[in-house]
Structure 1
Amino acid sequence: MLAAGLASFAEVGWERTTFVGVGARAGVTRGAVHHPFPDKVSLLTAALDEGWADAAAPLLAALGARGESGGQRLVAFLSGYVLALTGDDRFRRLAIVSTIVAPQAVALDAGLAAKRRGMSAWEDGIGEALADTVLGPGVTAGVAVLAIVTLIHGLTMTAATQPELLPADSAGAHALATACVHGLVAATD
């Protein structure tokens, strides 16, 4: 049901997703969906929580890989993000629903707080990788984290609106990530 809900939110949006439609996708009745989820917000929250628990692990592992420079870890993280957006339907749906659909579903304060909690592990990992680099002239750690988080959001919007612009191969994703990281750090390996 969670996969069906996530797919529905990604494909038809917040307003047009219904328990009837989610049930049809999952092969169950509307009541079977409604029983564990009293409303669409609870379905959305559960789908995102479960999805990100799995989907974020490889990216966070790339950020935490010891034995590689901070720059290499950032390149691996960003290229992994691009490849996940282009090659993994579930990941792309999670990113799009988190960025575009979820803000329509919950009150602004609650939604922003949830987004901050969700991004904190990513920001911590980015910060740790940056701590193992020499930043470029005039670049602070805070500015570098902001630039990478902004890039992540921009990549997600591109995946939603113009997916053909994103590189779908490892070499293209690596080149994009390297170009972005080189703008922030003095040198990468």
Structure 2
Amino acid sequence: MPQNPGSEDPNHQSPGEPIVGVIMGSQSDWETMRHASEILEQFGVPHERRVVSAHRTPEWMCEYAKTAEQRGLRVIIAGAGGAAHLPGMVASQTELPVLGVPVQSRALQGLDSLLSIVQMPGGIPVATLAIGEAGAKNAGLLAVRILAVEDATLREKLRQHRAAQSQAVMEGSVL
């Protein structure tokens, strides 16, 4: 798999063996999905970023999903726009948790993406987040929470993050 350094490259891998995969259907989805990557970096979670198209590279998508666990991944965050089949198709090929991020589209403001991801048949779960940037950020945080179940250091970082958020609100509460 390609490993190109640089925070602006969606095909980057952070330092350390990746335990989260951040994948997206096309290069243009990076503008949204970078927010998930930034959260993972903030918490020090090693992750890889890849463009994996369900429609243009279906064999690569299946290989990515089927080998994810043996490569050490524990969670996959998958973002896609339009028909947005990537999260569901990846979920059908792995037992790992898959977090789906609907990328906002021009035609329907991401509703098409949301409905494509959230309407999965029983037995193939995808944890679906909000459309766009907020969904990508929350996908990063949800991945951290999943990992924190077995990682006390990450749990403490989450507590500190929540406390900092609360403090920021309190400091700005007087208008």
TM-score when normalising by structure 1: 0.26
The structure where helix makes up a greater share of residues is 1
| Higher strand fraction (1 or 2) | 2
TM-score normalised per structure 2: 0.28
Larger RCO: 1 or 2 (CA < 8 Å, sep 6+): 1
